[in-house]
Amino acid sequence: MVKAIDNIITGAPLRDIRLAIGPAEALLQDSDRPEEPAALSLEDQLHESEERGYSRGRDETVVEYEEKLQALRQELEETQHKTVGERLDTLENNVQEQVQKRLRELEGELVEFAAEAAVRLVNDLPISTEILEASILDALKHCENDIEVSVHLNPADLKMLKESGSELLSDSPHQRRVRYLKDEEVSRGGCLVETRCGVIDGRRETREKLLMETVKA
């Protein structure tokens, strides 16, 4: 309610007095409202704009940096995968080459070892009539067209053939003439066959040498 104001003298109607009192009441009502914040100064507005711009730029920079970082990480992973794959391929090829090379070496070594083992095995066998006859017949095959040949034997081998009654020492009118001669330079188990065209080397050491050369070739 509006308090009455004493000692007001007026000749105006009462309704006019009430109208005059109205603005005063409005002033009292306005005094109860909260005060509005004061407008920012130009300097504060500029500072606030700078803060917003800095924050927005920072966010955009972070996003751009994350995108570039992700692209770089992906590129690095692809490069690593490619490099690792190439290295694995190179390693596999090198291993295969080394394995094949070693297998070839082992194959040659095994063949050579087998040949040496065969030679040792033959050398360890005792000289027998059968072994000696086989050696002589093998040498005579290389001179089948010769009518007369001379077979040089170690004296001990020639004695063994005679004592065993070997058929190689028997003369036959249907066969070529073969003479058997003692020769100290011929090792046991082998022979030298002399023909008109040359000498056929049937010695054991010569056959062993030819065998090893063939294996290593």
pLDDT digits (tens, 9 = 90+) for 18-63: 444 455 555 445 555 555 555 666 666 666 776 776 677 777 777 7
pLDDT digits (tens, 9 = 90+) for 191-215: 999 998 889 999 988 888 887 777 6
Rg (CA), the chain: 63
pTM for this predicted structure: 0.48
Give Cβ neighbours of residue 5 (< 8 Å, ≥ 6 apart).
21
